[in-house]
């Protein structure tokens, strides 16, 4: 039996970050990867945000196209809107706005690269720091003595002993299960995410997409679908909670691909499907049951992806680093109890990840009610939004009359839109701004006022000049 100070199950970005931190803290550390190398089993792609450069500057400056050939940075994001007939009825392209304050974030919104390149890159920091990486090894159980967890067992029955085990083993975490922290997620805590990777020539992507990093396809006929551009290809995927599917997830992803607009895009990009991928992605209102005696769960295993748009790598790295620091302290003080490890929760709650989850429930609810409810919500949201954006482009009427028609039409959506705003938007805004807006944001007051304001819109045009 081999003995270590710390065992980490999983060599994704979270596991590697934990291994690096632990080794730097002088812990004898081993981390396990079931693939032949890190990143071989992962398909989330990487949309790396500027927060990572802010928090891990010395590491991230090492991430170059030489190390990660698929790397592509972009400053623009595009939002497509698709109606019930499957027509792209509009799009909005955005770039970093005036209020963006962090300098690098002004020139790019995400750096995108494939996990098959990113994960080995980050694992190298851990092995360089002295952690031992064991590839092609599936950990199948926790080692227990007198009911206490004291290590792990691999598929060949080999035992590895350590006072603390970090579960960095993803959404379907063996460590979570065997430690009794979680058997499986509730159906509304986990999404399944099918995804195609397309090849496209780099020059075509540059010429046609410019510096777009990503696009979101907001739709009335499929759950919101994301598109992420890499150096020589792109991902097109979508997800939804497991209890929300009425047809095969691939049926909905193929609806994106089969849009006439999308087919044209594939044609001009000279794009060819290259890989089909699928993964589970936890999507929670708030992480819970993150640790017990001798065990800490990080990243996807702990339910840490962002509650708004499911960014997973950054939270995995942050929680991985903290878990290793807490483990180092616990080992030094010889107290690996659940209560000693609760410092993990204390610490992540103080980070940017913790701050994200402060509005976790509201962010989760609005995402569930809007992009993940194509039939119920997007079916009216898309035409209403486009009425405002594009209604004026009609030369069959005088413009002033047209504006009145648009206003009247938007008003017709109010019975659906107002309850939605009350139920999902105001709670979120109120949460974000805390109590400051309570007085003016009182839903009761607004409900009584807004329809009256709408009624004030003139039904008939007044004559501006007396007739001669």
The binding site for other proteins (CB under 8 A) comprises: 34-36, 39-45, 70, 114-116, 135-138, 140, 154-155, 171-172, 174, 183-185, 187, 190, 192, 194, 196-197, 230, 233, 242, 245, 247-250, 254, 257-258, 263, 266, 273-280
CA dist list (Å): 35 to 40, 138, 354: 6, 8, 31
**C-alpha to C-alpha distance for 205 and 26, rounded to whole angstroms:** 45
**Rounded CA separation 276/273 (Å):** 8
**Smallest separation, CB 274 to other proteins (Å):** 6
- Cα separation, 285 vs 421, whole angstroms: 19
Residues 6+ apart with CB under 8 A from 450: 414, 418
- Residue in the block written with tokens 């079916």: 379
Of 105 and 242, which has the nearer Cβ to other proteins?
242
**Closest distance of CB 249 from other proteins, Å:** 6
Minimum CB distance to other proteins, residue 377 (Å)? 22
Distance CA 229, CA 72 (A): 7
> Rounded distance, CA 133 to CA 128, Å?
10
Of the two residues 272 and 350, which places its CB atom closer to other proteins in the complex? 272
| Minimum CB–partner distance for residue 137 and other proteins (Å) | 4
CB-based contact 45:228 (threshold 8 Å):
yes
8 vs 410 by CB, closer to other proteins: 8
Query: Phi, psi at residue 35, to the nearest 5°?
Result: -80, 170
CB of 254 vs other proteins, minimal distance in Å: 7
Nearer to other proteins by Cβ, of 140 and 408: the residue is: 140
In whole angstroms, how close is the CB of 300 to other proteins at the nearest point?
12
Q: Which is nearer to other proteins, 70 or 373 (CB)?
A: 70
For 66-105, letters b (16+ CB in 10 Å) and e give eebebbbbbbbbbbbbbbbebebbbbeeeebeeeeeeeeb
Identify which of residues 64 and 187 has a Cβ nearer to other proteins in the complex: 187
Is the CA virtual torsion 111, 113, 117, 118 positive or negative?
positive
Report in angstroms how near the CB of residue 370 gets to other proteins at its nearest. 23
**Contact in structure between 5 and 24 (CB atoms under 8 Å):** no
Q: Is the Cβ of residue 140 or residue 392 nearer to other proteins in the bound state?
A: 140
């Amino acid at each position: 039996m081999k003995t270590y100070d710390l065992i980490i199950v999983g060599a994704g970005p979270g596991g590697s970050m934990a291994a690096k931190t632990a080794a730097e803290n002088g812990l004898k550390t081993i981390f396990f990867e079931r693939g032949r190398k890190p990143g071989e089993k992962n398909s989330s792609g990487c949309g790396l945000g500027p927060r990572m450069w802010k928090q891990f500057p010395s590491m991230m400056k090492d991430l170059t196209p030489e190390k990660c050939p698929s790397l592509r940075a972009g400053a623009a994001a595009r939002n497509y809107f698709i109606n019930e007939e499957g027509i792209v009825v509009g799009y909005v392209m955005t770039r970093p706005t005036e209020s963006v304050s962090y300098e690098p974030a002004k020139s790019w919104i995400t750096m995108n690269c494939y996990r098959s390149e990113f994960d080995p890159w980050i694992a190298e920091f851990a092995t360089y720091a002295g952690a031992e990486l064991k590839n092609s090894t599936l950990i199948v159980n926790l080692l227990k003595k007198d009911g206490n967890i004291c290590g792990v067992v691999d598929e060949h029955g080999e035992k590895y002993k350590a006072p603390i085990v970090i579960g960095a083993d993803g959404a379907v975490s063996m460590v979570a299960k065997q430690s009794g922290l979680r058997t499986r997620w509730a159906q509304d805590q986990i999404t399944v995410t099918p995804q195609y990777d397309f090849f496209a020539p780099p020059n075509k992507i540059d010429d046609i997409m410019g510096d777009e990093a990503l696009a979101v396809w907001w739709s009335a006929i499929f759950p919101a679908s994301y598109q992420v551009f890499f150096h020589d290809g792109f991902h097109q995927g979508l997800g939804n909670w497991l209890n929300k599917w009425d047809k095969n997830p691939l049926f909905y992803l193929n609806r994106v691909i089969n849009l006439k607009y999308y087919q044209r895009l594939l044609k001009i990009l000279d794009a060819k499907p290259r890989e089909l991928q699928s993964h589970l992605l936890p999507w929670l209102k708030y992480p819970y049951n993150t640790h017990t005696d001798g065990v800490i769960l990080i990243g996807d295993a702990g339910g840490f992806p962002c509650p708004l748009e499911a960014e997973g790598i950054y939270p995995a790295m942050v929680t991985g680093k903290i878990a290793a620091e807490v483990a180092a302290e616990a080992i030094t003080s010889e107290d690996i109890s659940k209560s000693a490890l609760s410092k993990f929760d204390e610490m992540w709650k103080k980070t940017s990840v913790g701050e994200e989850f402060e509005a976790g429930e509201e962010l989760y609810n609005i995402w569930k009610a809007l992009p993940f409810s194509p039939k119920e919500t997007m079916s009216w949201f898309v035409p209403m939004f486009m009425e405002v954006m594009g209604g004026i482009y009609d030369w069959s009427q005088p413009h002033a009359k047209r504006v009145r028609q648009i206003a009247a039409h938007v008003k017709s959506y109010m019975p659906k839109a107002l309850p939605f705003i009350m139920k999902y938007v105001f709670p979120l805004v109120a949460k974000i701004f805390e109590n400051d807006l309570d007085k003016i944001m009182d839903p009761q007051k607004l409900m009584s006022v807004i329809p009256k304001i709408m009624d004030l819109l003139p039904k008939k045009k007044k004559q501006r000049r007396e007739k001669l």
